[in-house]
């Protein structure tokens, strides 16, 4: 595959499809939506409005980092604070599929308002091949897959979806990103799920529980960075485990599972053989930073039978 030719063809396809219309790009800061956004900007220039939704489920400081990165590329990013809407949509939900579908609906309803306000007719998004494959096989609902499972985006949300990367897997997306001049910290970035930390929070996703996951994920990413895994993160389990207080009393606390995997295309994966000292550092940092945690475990399950993310 010639990645430069692919990029040029997609720029032309976007330009030809949109013509004089307006487009909103759904940017999350991940590699897929970043590449889609740059393709859209190359094709449309000022007729592309780039929007980042602050849903309360991202890494800490993500919106500021994304704005700064794309400002250097000459692309202005508008941030929409929709935290209340997303947590309201997720309130009381514990079933993984119900949570994913609630996120998807909140995601597209937010963009429906943005599309209507801007007068845009199209939504550009970074859907890639694994998103479609896993959704169509009912492995799990990906938030950015609509028409492939019979949902009419125009009828339901008021826009036509543009998906220039839907035939690609992650390695090719990275190569297109490099060709387009994205900084290495973007095109080499560790994959992060569209629904964000929701995928790493079993049980109800409340702001307090999401903050626990956010802290755990930051620690795991920092401690595993030198091993360059495909993905590494922490997961908050839904049950509690018995622990001890400093005084020796009983304490029911949270359980954090640590996940670190090697993969090429996200369709298969195996657990990274992390050194014991690294696992001990992760454990100690999590227990110190999050006193509500009483157990830290390491997940060694491959994909399949497991998926990489928990939800």
> pLDDT at residue 149 above 50?
no
**Residue after which a domain boundary falls, among 187, 212, 239:** 187
Residues 6+ apart with CB under 8 A from 254: 212, 236, 237, 240, 241, 290, 292, 293, 294, 295
Domain assignment present for 307:
no
Question: By C-alpha distance, which of 58, 59, 60 is closest to 82?
Answer: 58
Question: By C-alpha distance, which of 162, 26, 170, 41 is closest to 104?
Answer: 26
The CATH number assigned to the domain holding 209 equals 3.30.300.10
What is the pLDDT at residue 299? 98
Domain assignment present for 135:
yes
Whole-model pTM: value is 0.90
Residue-wise pLDDT for 41-53, tens only, equals 999 998 999 999 9
Place of tokens 């995997």: 261
**Residue after which a domain boundary falls, among 135, 162, 187:** 187
What is the pLDDT at residue 306? 96
The angle subtended at Cα 206 by Cα 202 and Cα 207, nearest 5°, is: 125
Q: Is residue 114 domain-shared with residue 15, that is, in the same domain?
A: yes
Domain count, the chain: 2
CA 274 to CA 254: how far, in whole Å?
Answer: 23
Residue-wise pLDDT for 54-69, tens only, equals 999 999 999 999 999 9
Average pLDDT over residues 217-222: 98
Give the length of the chain: 311
> pLDDT at residue 10 above 50?
yes
Which contacts of 286-291 are long-range, i.e. CB under 8 A and separated by 24 or more positions?
286/215, 286/216, 286/219, 286/234, 286/256, 289/215, 289/219, 290/212, 290/215, 290/216, 290/254, 290/256
Q: Is residue 224 domain-shared with residue 171, that is, in the same domain?
A: no
Domain assignment present for 254:
yes
The angle subtended at Cα 74 by Cα 72 and Cα 76, nearest 5°, is: 100
Domain assignment present for 306:
no
CA 63 to CA 103: how far, in whole Å?
Answer: 18
User: 3-class secondary structure for 79-113?
Assistant: EEECHHHHHHHHCCCCCHHHHHHHHHHHHHHHHHH
Domain assignment present for 110:
yes
The proportion of the chain whose per-residue pLDDT surpasses 90, expressed as a percent, equals 83
Domain assignment present for 93:
yes
**Residue after which a domain boundary falls, among 187, 211, 230:** 187
55 or 115, greater pLDDT: 55
What is the pLDDT at residue 145? 56
Residues 6+ apart with CB under 8 A from 258: 216, 220, 232, 233, 234, 235, 279, 282, 296, 297, 298, 299
- For the record, the structure tokens of 57 come out as 């489920």
Q: Is residue 25 domain-shared with residue 174, that is, in the same domain?
A: yes
Range of the domain at 247: 201-299
The total of other beta-carbon atoms located within 10 Å of residue 226's CB is 8
> pLDDT at residue 144 above 50?
yes
């Amino acid at each position: 595959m010639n990645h430069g030719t692919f990029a040029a063809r997609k720029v032309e396809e976007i330009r030809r499809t949109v013509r004089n219309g307006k487009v909103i790009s759904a940017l999350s800061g991940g590699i897929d939506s970043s590449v889609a956004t740059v393709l859209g900007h190359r094709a449309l220039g000022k007729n592309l409005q780039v929007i980042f939704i602050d849903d309360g489920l991202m890494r800490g400081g993500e919106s500021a980092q994304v704005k700064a990165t794309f400002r250097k590329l000459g692309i202005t990013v508008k941030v929409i604070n929709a935290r209340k809407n997303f947590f309201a949509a997720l309130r009381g939900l514990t079933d993984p599929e119900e949570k994913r579908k609630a996120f998807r609906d909140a995601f597209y309803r937010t963009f429906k308002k943005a599309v209507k306000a801007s007068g845009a007719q199209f939504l550009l998004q970074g859907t890639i091949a694994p998103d479609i494959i896993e959704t169509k096989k009912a492995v799990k609902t990906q938030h950015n897959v609509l028409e492939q499972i019979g949902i009419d985006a125009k009828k339901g949300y008021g826009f036509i979806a543009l998906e220039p990367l839907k035939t690609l897997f992650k390695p090719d997306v990275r190569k297109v990103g490099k060709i387009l001049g994205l900084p290495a910290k973007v095109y080499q970035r560790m994959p992060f799920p569209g629904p964000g930390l929701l995928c790493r929070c079993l049980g109800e996703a409340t702001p307090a529980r999401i903050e626990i996951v956010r802290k755990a994920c930051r620690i795991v990413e920092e401690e595993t960075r030198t091993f360059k895994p495909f993905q590494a993160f922490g997961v908050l389990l839904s049950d509690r485990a018995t622990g001890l207080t400093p005084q020796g009393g009983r304490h029911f606390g949270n359980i954090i599972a640590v996940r670190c995997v090697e993969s090429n295309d996200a369709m298969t994966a195996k657990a990274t053989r992390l050194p014991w000292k690294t696992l001990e550092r992760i454990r100690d940092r999590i227990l110190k930073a999050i006193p509500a945690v009483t157990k830290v475990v390491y997940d060694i399950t491959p994909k399949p039978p497991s998926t990489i993310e928990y939800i």
